[in-house]
Structure 1
Amino acid sequence: MRLTPNALRVLALLYHDTEPHYGLSLSKTLSLGSGTLYPILDKLEDAGLLTGTWEDIDPHLAGRRPRRFYSLTGEGMRTFERERHALLATLQGGVPHA
């Protein structure tokens, strides 16, 4: 899967942030509109790089719909680390090692 800069930003945030994130929090933190963010989340989830789980709440008691929280899978962590390593190597003028 080819990762766009915005997809890498999503992976980076989920990799480095210990707080759980749901769609709206990701959208606000990354300044990405829903029309950009949700297709990225769908593609990353389909590729097995992140997983989304629905919050277990009673919408009537909470006064809102359940949120879908996203977290990186092991493969998502490894992919981000690989991409970060390749980017750093490129910025330092080297060739990334596989």
Structure 2
Amino acid sequence: MPGLLRGVARTAIVSGTATAVSNRVSRRQQGRWAAQEPYQEAPPPRPTSSTEPPPAAPAPDMTDKIEQLKQLGELKAQGVLTETEFEEQKRRVLEA
């Protein structure tokens, strides 16, 4: 039993020391980075005029679906997916 307690105590000391060292290194790095790069504010938003067209609507998800279907087709051609698995995954992509 004393050997077990000694091992537990040693582990606690080692992990505590490692945590303290890690925290100190992190603080030191953060201080160095803060000294190297001054804080930069984000540029002010660009004013929009009424003559500019409204932003384009996001592209439909169809391009993503087509890409997923191509990947599924490749997996089926490689023999990774069976016909049944391919059909199930295709149905899920098209329903989403």
Instruction: Point out the structure with max Rg over C-alpha.
Output: 2
Q: Which has the higher helix share?
A: 2
Q: TM-score, normalised by structure 2?
A: 0.23
Q: TM-score, normalised by structure 1?
A: 0.23
